[in-house]
């Protein structure tokens, strides 16, 4: 599979780049993508939810009435869950929601998403570019030139480019990341995937 290389104005440079069929041309596996999304969202959870049980609430542990003869239910202390102000029964406790996913499963999920994007013709390749200074206006011009200003897009660069990253931070529907850091979940939710020329080989090496 070959794609033409564009410049930041959206014009053809006359060059083409080859995309590995084992990464961009497989049959997408939806279940694997589901597992990867599930793991990603689980890892985003802080797990700091907490309610106070009867051991945590403040109050006396003195027995508030005798065990028998009152005609009502027995009660051990004012911290009992059945009394107002008492502890919560089986409330949430802090815990880690993350779970393990095999590397091969993660790679297959990434290849499945990229293959689906390639099939939908939602991938563009641009030549590597630099920005001398950070500027939102300049990055908007790049989005306009590539015809993605009205779409949710993700730029994948080969190397970390601070000026390009900082130029994109204030723009709502775009994100800049590197081939080493991009996650399948981000690719899946982008309408257009913009691959910088230097990121293609790195992404293929990472997923192959």
- When pLDDT is cut at 50, 70 and 90, the band that residue 208 belongs to is confident
CA atoms within 13 A on the CB side of 49: 7
- When pLDDT is cut at 50, 70 and 90, the band that residue 110 belongs to is very high
Q: Is the pLDDT of residue 34 over 90?
A: yes
The predicted-structure confidence for 147-197, as pLDDT tens digits, reads as follows 998 999 999 998 888 999 999 999 999 999 999 999 999 999 999 999 999
Q: What is the pLDDT of residue 10?
A: 87
Order of strands, sheet of 174-178, starting from the edge strand that comes earlier in the sequence: 12-18, 2-6, 123-126, 192-196, 153-157, 174-178
When pLDDT is averaged across residues 110-116 and rounded to a whole number, the result is 94
> Computed from CA positions of residues 15, 20, 26, 29, in that sequence, does the dihedral angle turn out positive or negative?
negative
φ, ψ for residue 96 (rounded to 5)?
-95, 120
* Whole-model pTM over 0.75: yes
Taken in order of first residue, the domains within the chain and their CATH numbers are: 2-46+100-207 (3.40.1370.10), 51-91 (no CATH)
When pLDDT is averaged across residues 52-71 and rounded to a whole number, the result is 92
Name 196's bridge partners.
126
When pLDDT is averaged across residues 2-30 and rounded to a whole number, the result is 91
Q: Is the pLDDT of residue 113 over 90?
A: yes
């Amino acid at each position: 599979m070959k794609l033409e290389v564009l410049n930041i104005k959206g014009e053809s440079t006359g060059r083409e780049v080859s995309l590995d069929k084992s990464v961009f041309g497989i049959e997408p596996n939806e279940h694997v993508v589901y597992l990867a999304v599930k793991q990603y969202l689980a890892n985003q959870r802080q797990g700091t939810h907490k309610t106070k049980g009867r051991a945590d609430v403040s109050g006396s542990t003195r027995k508030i009435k005798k065990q028998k003869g009152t005609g009502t239910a027995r009660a051990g202390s004012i911290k009992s869950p059945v009394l107002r102000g008492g502890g919560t029964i089986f409330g949430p406790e802090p815990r880690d929601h993350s779970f393990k996913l095999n590397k091969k499963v993660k790679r297959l999920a990434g290849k499945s998403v990229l293959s689906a994007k390639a099939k939908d013709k939602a991938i563009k390749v641009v030549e590597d570019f630099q920005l001398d200074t950070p500027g939102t206006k300049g990055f908007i011009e790049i989005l306009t030139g590539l015809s993605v200003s009205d779409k949710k897009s993700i730029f994948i660069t080969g190397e970390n480019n601070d000026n390009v990253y900082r130029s994109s931070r204030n723009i709502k529907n775009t994100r800049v990341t590197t081939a080493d850091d991009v996650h399948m979940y981000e690719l899946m939710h982008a309408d257009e995937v913009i691959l910088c020329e230097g990121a293609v080989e790195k992404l293929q090496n990472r997923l192959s």
